[in-house]
Amino acid sequence: MIRKICLLFTALSFGISAAPKSYGSLGSEVDFLDFGKVTVAPFSYSVSSSYDEEYGAFNLFDSNPKSYWYSSGENKPEWIIVDFGSKRLINSIEVLVPMFRGKRATEEYEIQVLHQENWKTIFKNEKVDLINQHNLPPIDASILRLYFPKKEEKNIVIGEFKILLNGTVLNSVSNKFTGYQYPVPDGLLPEKDYQLPGAPREYRNGIHKGLDIYYKREKVGPPRRLTFEDVLVSPADGTIIRADLDYSPMTLSEFQRYSALAQKNGVTYVEKDFGGRQVWIDHGNGVMTSFNHLSSIKRGIKLGAKVKSGDEIGNVGNSGLMGEAKGNDENIHLHFEIWVDGEYLGAGVPTNQMRKLLQFFFSKSNLN
């Protein structure tokens, strides 16, 4: 693994090849992000060191000024590299540097570009504030480095490193796609790729448009499967735009009949939805979420009701599925969908990148 990272860094530093399609994992010191429409441009990043996985370099790109990258505390220079893989037009840089242990987390840094296999400094900042906005002469470059010439043993702490063109951030995930909490408290991201948005299906037009959540952490012991007793919460403030308070379960014969129709037809609008008992929430700014297969809905959750982040929505279940039709606890899980501007989140995003995108989206919960 160490050899792989070293080879990758060499490629990043000296521009031997364009950015690869995928590598690393969120929290590592080297990674590549390509979230389709969610990101302005695909880019890879690397850092000289990270104090801990929780304070990895991905915190530099989540549009959250209160999440930080911490370097190790060694007496050596530190750096952050962003590689777009091909030429980009750039005319400003923004760096957020918080206070750390009573003083600014770095006293100086340099903005560098890779020029003919050497780092060329184009700007030095020796008067560092919380928010440092640097307007640059327009440049075209594919690789930039923020360099910290450390001379003592201390951590460098950075909140945001933004590369911009005319005010548009090229290397960041918009706060529209971050800051939500996971709908299952202590829940785990699905382990199987076919449980993620964008996974292929033999029905419903061939695409799974949500994530299927089956497991949650326990305070002691291994993760366990969800049960009818597990509650679900709103991922953010919003307004209830659908609540199936008059839901009636499918009979076994109904389930079999509608299943046969769904296998033959691309359109799955039927008299009874396989999503079962549902709640939909409009979070504003074009973002909507839907909860499917609920066993019950919390009192007070109704059309037009306002909810806050973390408010209980209902209980997980298997409504709309074979288990409900049979009257047992088979296949209890939450099918959870995220819709942005009329499209499901993750459309066209490969599964390895989708896992990272979901960690950005649910940044209010620890899903590492």
Q: Which of 62, 344, 38, 9 is nearest to 209 (CA)?
A: 344
Write the burial class of residue 312 (CB in 10 Å: 0-12 exposed, 13-18 middle, 19+ buried): middle
Q: What is the pTM of this model?
A: 0.86
**Per-residue pLDDT of the chain in tens (368 residues, 90 and over written 9):** 333 333 333 333 333 334 334 445 676 788 999 999 999 999 999 999 999 888 999 999 999 999 999 999 889 999 999 999 999 999 999 999 999 999 999 999 999 999 888 999 999 999 999 999 999 999 999 999 999 998 788 899 999 999 999 999 999 999 999 999 999 999 999 999 999 998 887 665 678 899 999 999 998 999 999 999 999 999 999 999 999 999 999 888 888 887 777 676 655 554 556 889 999 999 999 999 999 999 999 999 999 999 999 999 999 999 999 999 999 999 999 999 999 999 999 999 998 899 999 999 999 998 86
- 8 Å CB contact between 79 and 148: yes
Can you name the residues that pair with 162 across neighbouring β-strands? 94
Q: Is 365 helix (H, G, I), strand (E, B) or coil?
A: coil
Model pLDDT, residue 46: 94
From the number of C-beta atoms within 10 Å of its C-beta (0-12, 13-18, 19+), residue 55 rates as middle
Q: Which domains does the chain have, with CATH numbers?
A: 30-173 (2.60.120.260), 193-362 (2.70.70.10)
pLDDT of residue 20: 37
| pLDDT value for 89 | 96
